Structure 1
Amino acid sequence: MVGAGFLGMEAAGACAARGIPVIVVDTASPLERVLGGCLPAAITAHAAARRIHFVQATGLVT
């Protein structure tokens, strides 16, 4: 999954609920651009409990 915004996280959650392994890749923490720095750690922990893994990219991948 590319992007940890609302749409990316919804898609990741739907896949995880169906038992599909999910890795979310983004340059920021989950929903950080939308919600600020307060909630990303809690969102990451909640998602990790549902087997959604995160990779934080350092830049564009070509």
Structure 2
Amino acid sequence: MAVVAHEVRKLAKQTATSAQEVSQVITTIQTEIDEVIQDTERNRRSGCRNSCSRCSG
């Protein structure tokens, strides 16, 4: 029984760690989406099509 309890605790810790990693990935994606939206709006207002930081070149 102790082995099972240990494995359950271990899996719970792994699950918590994975959930935190997923949350960080989601936050990064949201930040990048916000930056793209800001670049798009800025470029739309200025009439520029290729000067944003993501598509320069």
TM-score between the two structures when normalised by the length of structure 2? 0.31
Per residue, is there more helix in 1 or in 2? 2
- TM superposition score normalised by structure 1: 0.29
Higher relative contact order (CA 8 A, sep 6+): 1
Please identify which structure carries the higher strand content. 1
The structure having more radius of gyration, on CA atoms, is 2
